[in-house]
Amino acid sequence: MIPLSILDLSPVSAGSTAAQALRNSLDLARLADDLGFARYWVAEHHNLPAIASSAPDIMIGQIAAVTKRMRIGSGGVMLPNHAPLMVAERFKVLEALYPGRIDLGLGRAPGTDPATSYALRRRQGISEEDDFLDRFNELMLLETRGFPAGHPFHNVRAMPSDVALPPIYLLGSSDYSAQLAGHIGAAFSFAHHFANFDAVEAMRLYRDNFKPSVSHEKPFAILATHVVCADTDEEAERLAATVDLNFVRRAKGEYQPLASPEDAARYEYTPVDKARIVQNRTRLSVGSSDTVKARLLPLIEATKADELMVTTMIFDHAARKRSYELLAKAFK
């Protein structure tokens, strides 16, 4: 059966706190390690009340310390927000402390709004251009000590210099990201949970454009998707009301902590809201373990994914843990 992994955004529920959300992530990671999940990634988002995960490198170290087996990584570090040398050194430190267990997932977007992006980057110099590839190339040249003589960075070492960077993954939701991941020889994680682009075509483009690299000799594709699993279809639908309302609010520019299923049920949805929910539900798998598995298997087969990565953004932490328990059992 296909390996399962987790993408954790450390969701913040109404009436709770971001600090509790981070502690919940440690608790979930321990469970995931025991359940046999292959890897556990944490996200980078900023200035979003529903998401506490703003510093993936710190969380990776904390999660690696309380787990024993899983690979732990970033899903991902938003490279436009960071100096490549800083990314290289932080992940080399993590790799030194937890050898063979760290992944470096990279994203092309800032993961936030323009004002917050400016606050993150103002000391780096702001570019209106997409400078991801320049930053990625700098990261690779730091790793390989490939800057030519006379370059300002020729003698710069990313420390610890005797530790290799972890395997690199590119996160993406578009045809361009899929082709870019192949071109740079990274593994690819396709964000099916919010992408408008077709997952099957994205995976094909990635494999067709793949070139071996220092990081990966052959293509490796992860399909990231959103799942709400419960003991019954009815209970899963109740829990998924939180997802529906969160999607509607974000589409309107309303960023709030996750609402309870009860509050979501009381929300007065407009016809436009309902249409948005229907659209988003095409990327969401909701139901009992049998229902979710039956929905996911054709997608896995069609995309030829090497791994399935699941995120579950629901209100109740215990229900979230139960969702992952049921999914792990279904895919054993």
Residue 115 domain flag:
yes
206 in Cβ contact with 179 (< 8 Å)? yes
Counting every residue, how long is the chain?
Answer: 332
Residue 283 domain flag:
no
Query: How is residue 34 written in tokens?
Result: 């025991």
| pTM score | 0.94
Domain range enclosing 25: 4-231+289-330
Residue 32 domain flag:
yes
- Residue 75: burial class (beta carbons within 10 Å; 0-12, 13-18, 19+): buried
Query: CA 285, CA 304: separation in Å to the nearest integer?
Result: 18
Residue 17 domain flag:
yes
Query: How is residue 138 written in tokens?
Result: 């700098």
Smallest CA-to-CA distance from 4 within 237, 317, 329, 315 is with 329
169 in Cβ contact with 189 (< 8 Å)? yes
Per-residue pLDDT of the chain (332 residues), as tens digits, is: 899 999 999 999 999 999 999 999 999 999 999 999 999 999 999 999 999 999 999 999 999 999 999 999 999 999 999 999 999 999 999 999 999 999 999 999 877 788 887 787 755 555 555 789 999 999 999 999 999 999 999 999 999 999 999 999 999 999 999 999 999 999 999 999 999 999 999 999 999 999 999 889 999 999 999 999 999 999 999 999 999 999 999 999 999 999 999 999 999 999 999 999 999 999 999 999 999 999 999 999 999 999 999 999 999 999 999 999 999 999 98
Residue 53 domain flag:
yes
Question: Which residues lie below 8 Å from residue 253, measured CB to CB, with a gap of 6+?
Answer: none
Query: CA 255, CA 311: separation in Å to the nearest integer?
Result: 19
The CATH number linked to 77 is 3.20.20.30
Residue 297 domain flag:
yes
Q: What is residue 128's predicted lDDT score, i.e. its pLDDT?
A: 54
Residue 112 domain flag:
yes
Number of domains, the chain: 1
- Residue 243: burial class (beta carbons within 10 Å; 0-12, 13-18, 19+): buried
Query: Residue type for 18, please?
Result: A
Residue 148 domain flag:
yes
Query: CA 180, CA 175: separation in Å to the nearest integer?
Result: 9
Q: What is residue 1's predicted lDDT score, i.e. its pLDDT?
A: 87
109 in Cβ contact with 78 (< 8 Å)? yes
